[in-house]
Amino acid sequence: MAIIVIDAGHGGDTKVGGSSANNATAPEGTLEKDLTLDFAKRVQRILSAMHDVRMTRQTDVNVGIAARAHVARDAAADVFLSIHFNGFSNPSVQGTETLVWPGTRPPEKSYALAKLIQKATVGATGYRDRGIKDERRLGVLNPQNHVAKTARCLVEISFITGPGKTNAESDEKRLKDERYKDTIAEALAEAIEAYL
């Protein structure tokens, strides 16, 4: 039985320890912080039958960046996955990307996890593969905040400000479909299982 920590990005109403309350907002008002919590709970439900799955937050509260990582550090977690959604001023931008700490390369554990997460998420959304990125020093992925054995990455599932799979829908509309959300959550869970 592995220990898995799922981090629902953002939360609450104020910035806490470097974590903003909410970054992306869809055109009709859907908030990134609400989607991340919804998806984290779905992934937790799927994996809890087989593993010890912990969450950095269970409700609409914000948790500092280091505190999120320390949930995984204190548990000596095997996997840490932070779930996010992107937003951009240009509403035509769409795609999926997974972030790792700068300099993370194959065959490192975190890169192996990120590769599986990226492939599974792109397969579930059908959106453009924006690849694995290592340009940003994100505190939740900082090796100093984790034990050495923890594979860690952050997935940006889609741009909630962008188009859906067809021109007739938006990503926001698509994310209101329970079956679609389950498909993505199952893909994330399967990627983690494949890594383990």
Cα dist from 89 to 6, 24, 118, 141, 151, whole Å: 28, 10, 23, 26, 32
**Per-residue model confidence (pLDDT) at position 95:** 97
Q: Quote the pLDDT of residue 126.
A: 97
Q: What is the sign, positive or negative, of the torsion defined by CA atoms of 120, 59, 100, 135?
A: positive
Number of domains in the chain: 1
96-99 and 151-159 strand pairing: antiparallel
pLDDT score for 165: 86
Find the domain containing 43 and state its range: 3-195
Query: For the segment 86-123, what is each residue's pLDDT rounded down to a tens digit?
Result: 999 999 999 999 999 999 999 999 999 999 999 999 99
Ranges under pLDDT 70 in the chain: none
User: Would you state the pLDDT for residue 49?
Assistant: 94
Q: How is residue 121 written in tokens? A: 């998420």
pTM for this structure? 0.97
Which helix (DSSP H) or strand (DSSP E) does residue 183 occupy? helix 178-195
pLDDT for 166: 79
Q: What is the pLDDT of residue 168?
A: 77
Domain CATH code at residue 58: 3.40.630.40
